[in-house]
Structure 1
Amino acid sequence: MTTALLVIDLQNDYFADAELARCKADVLAASNLLVRAARAAGALVVEAQTVHARDRSTWALNMLDDDQGMAIEGTEGARRLDGLLEPDLCIVKTRDSAFYDTPLESRLRERGVDRLVLAGVSTESCIAATATDAYARDLRVVLVDDATASVEWRLHDETLARLQRQYRQAVVPARRVRFD
């Protein structure tokens, strides 16, 4: 099996919520542990960043409804977290799934990837959407419970349990992820 690591939305705006701010250091440390392990095994490391246009042309419906954008291009909020190790490849997305209207699938296929390790935020939205889309593309998924987080831990736990049950996606701590 050829495995890649995908780190999603480890950007300043996503940690503005008090609960996510509280677990930011832990998620960052677990994500960096995964990056190091992936590099040691020669696995591809991909970072997916959400970046929206100032002119609202890329905003999601909830952003438009609330008249409040986030991760706006060129802002401090869109910037990746300080201390996050550099990826091999960075893709920009405008929706929850890292596959939606991005080159992610083709880049993974070019490298023969058939297993994806997911880390980042938020578990119930971007992680879940990406995991579901990966399943639809016949990619095995490993969800890293301590390298993912949510504004509500109940949502985090329920989402991981659902993905594990429905799509047979493994849920493991960062220290147990293998890339070889």
Structure 2
Amino acid sequence: MTSRPADALLLIDLQEAFFAGPALAEARTAVVTAVDSLAAAARGADVPIFLISTEHSRDRSTWTLSMLEDDEGFLFHGDPATDVIAELDTTGMTRLEKTRDSAWFGTDLLLRMHNLAVSRVVIAGVSTHACIAQTARDAYANNIRATIVEDAVADERPEHTRAVRDLLIGDRQADLADSAEVLERWAR
């Protein structure tokens, strides 16, 4: 008898700042609805949930190259824009802060996944072309499978979403599922 792989749910950048633009503002309700159903199912199946947000220091020490070149930082620790979106139920979620697109870079996420014997991360949040894609790629680089939940992700640049997803699938770095498929898997 084989047991199912141990999953963890990664919720990426569900912060007020990211939903300020028109494309993500329009997708907000659908993403939150899907994420809430995933989180409730994860809680019921004892799947760990990681709420991963982006925050930077005002002293420029965590800024990306483009922020340094433009001499313009954002997502500063303590600013209201870095708050998790208000309608998200964060009960039982473990918080992690990142400073780059990947949730793996400069965090202890890999250690946590190893400690929990996680072999697959289920990824939801924003933005597909950047933080979602890079987190999936780096999961693959760390020999952890990644599933992107299509109806629980959104992008401020939707014209890039299909190309990025096709590359991730073509390179076998991630697979896709909708929230109903994930809920069914966790109900077993």
Could you tell me how far 1:168 is from its partner in structure 2?
Answer: 5.0
Q: Count matched residues.
A: 180
Decide which of 143, 148, 159 is 2:148's aligned counterpart.
Answer: 143
2: distance between equivalents of 1:41 and 1:47? Answer: 17
Kindly indicate whether residue 178 of structure 2 is the aligned counterpart of residue 173 of structure 1: yes
Give the corresponding residue for 1:115. 120
Could you tell which deviates more after superposition, 147-156 or 88-97? 147-156
Whole-Å separation in 2 of the counterparts to 1:29 and 1:35: 10
User: What TM-score does the superposition give when structure 1 sets the normalisation length?
Assistant: 0.95
Q: Tell me, yes or no, if structure 1 residue 124 matches structure 2 residue 129.
A: yes
Report if aligned partners of 1:60, 1:95 keep a CA contact under 8 Å in 2: yes
Find the counterpart in structure 2 of residue 133 from structure 1.
Answer: 138
Distance 1:44 1:113 in 2: 9
- Distance in 2 between residues matched to 1:68 and 1:144, nearest whole Å: 32
Q: Distance in 1 between matches of 2:153 and 2:72?
A: 24
Where 1:26 maps in the other structure, the secondary structure is: helix
Contact 1:70 1:77 in 2 (8 A): no
1:64 maps to: 68
After TM superposition, where is structure 1 displaced by more than 4 Å over at least 4 residues in a row? none
1:24, CA displacement in angstroms? 1.0
Alignment RMSD: 1.2
Instruction: Give the gaps of 5 or more residues in structure 1.
Output: none
Identity %: 38
Residue 169 of structure 1 deviates from its aligned partner by 2.0
Q: Which residue matches 1:92? A: 97
Q: What's the CA shift for 1:27? A: 0.9
> Of the two, which has the highest radius of gyration?
2
CA contact (8 A) 2:104 2:138 kept: yes
Query: Which of residues 1, 4, 13 is equivalent to 2:8?
Result: 4
